[in-house]
Amino acid sequence: MRHESSPAAVPEALGNPAEDSAPARTGRKRLVLAGGAILLVAVLATAAAFTDFARLNLGTGAEGSGVGNPDRFDIAVVLPDQTVEQADSAAGYDWAVPGAELLVPGGSVQTTIPVFNNTPSTVADLDVSIELLNEDGSVTDRPNITRFLRFTAEVAGAELFRDAPWDEATGTISALAARGDQPLQQGDAFVPGAAESLRDLVLTVTYLDEPETVDYNGGQSAFRVHFAASSVPAP
């Protein structure tokens, strides 16, 4: 059988050979011109559109106009003479405990401390703790009885801590209500605010009756109650 080969088919050229021989840049120019035409239309349309704007100031700098609570966050205590004591200096306030000088092993002394939220519109949590004075609770050259003292604190019958040594005597008074009225100033006569904005902390200090205390005859201790308040975000 004879096999005859036929010439390979030559594809037919597409397009005008004269145009195909033109530099490739011709097509690019057309694209650029087309893009330019579209861009021109867009610019013209934007220039013809109506515009408007709105500006909302979240605070103008005037009193009471900014974001944030303008009230000063503050707590204070009520003294036995029913006046306000801030007790916020480094030295603190010397709170008198009835019978403190008569405390002996096996005995206890107790005091009630009214503490209140003096902020018009912010709820407060109060962390309560015992801090030693003079670093170790010592009083001059007297025997230091701090190690034999135990502390109990209650608010409305609920215990914050019970029979705890000073470094474990910590607790929290939760959700002390906002005062709901203008704040009181140092030395003002106390005027009650909203319900639950004042709580009475009942603190009991017990002197353990241990055999070792015989060597601490005439001993004393110096400490203080520390309230650390923090604001509670509104729900």
Confidence of residue 228 (pLDDT cuts 50, 70, 90): very high
Q: List CB contacts of 100: < 8 A, sequence separation 6 or more.
A: 109
Q: Is the pLDDT of residue 22 over 60?
A: no
Q: How many CB atoms lie within 10 A of CB 69?
A: 13
Compute the distance between CA of residue 166 and CA of residue 133 in angstroms, rounded to an integer.
12
The pLDDT score that the predictor gives to residue 47 is 61
pLDDT, average across residues 204-208: 98
pLDDT, average across residues 198-227: 97
Q: Is the pLDDT of residue 25 over 60?
A: no
The pLDDT score that the predictor gives to residue 5 is 45
Size of the chain in residues = 235
Higher pLDDT, 67 or 145: 145
The pLDDT score that the predictor gives to residue 68 is 80
Which tokens in the block code for residue 62?
A: 């005037």
Residue range 153-187, pLDDT digits in tens: 999 999 999 999 999 999 999 999 999 999 999 99
Compute the distance between CA of residue 137 and CA of residue 92 in angstroms, rounded to an integer.
15
Percentage of the chain modeled with pLDDT above 70: 80
Confidence of residue 96 (pLDDT cuts 50, 70, 90): very high
Mind giving me the DSSP string for 1-53?
A: ----PPPPPPPPPPS-HHHHTS-THHHHHHHHHHHHHHHHHHHHHHHHS----
**Residue 149 contacts residue 210 (beta carbons within 8 Å):** no
Residue range 34-71, pLDDT digits in tens: 444 454 455 555 567 899 989 988 888 787 777 888 88
Residue range 73-93, pLDDT digits in tens: 999 999 999 999 999 999 999
Sequence-separated contacts (24+) of 89-96 with Cβ below 8 Å: 92/224, 95/224, 95/225
pLDDT, average across residues 196-217: 97
Write down the architecture of domain 75-232 according to CATH.
Answer: Sandwich (2.60)
Compute the distance between CA of residue 6 and CA of residue 26 in angstroms, rounded to an integer.
39
- Model-level pTM? 0.75
Q: Is the pLDDT of residue 212 over 90?
A: yes
Higher pLDDT, 24 or 154: 154
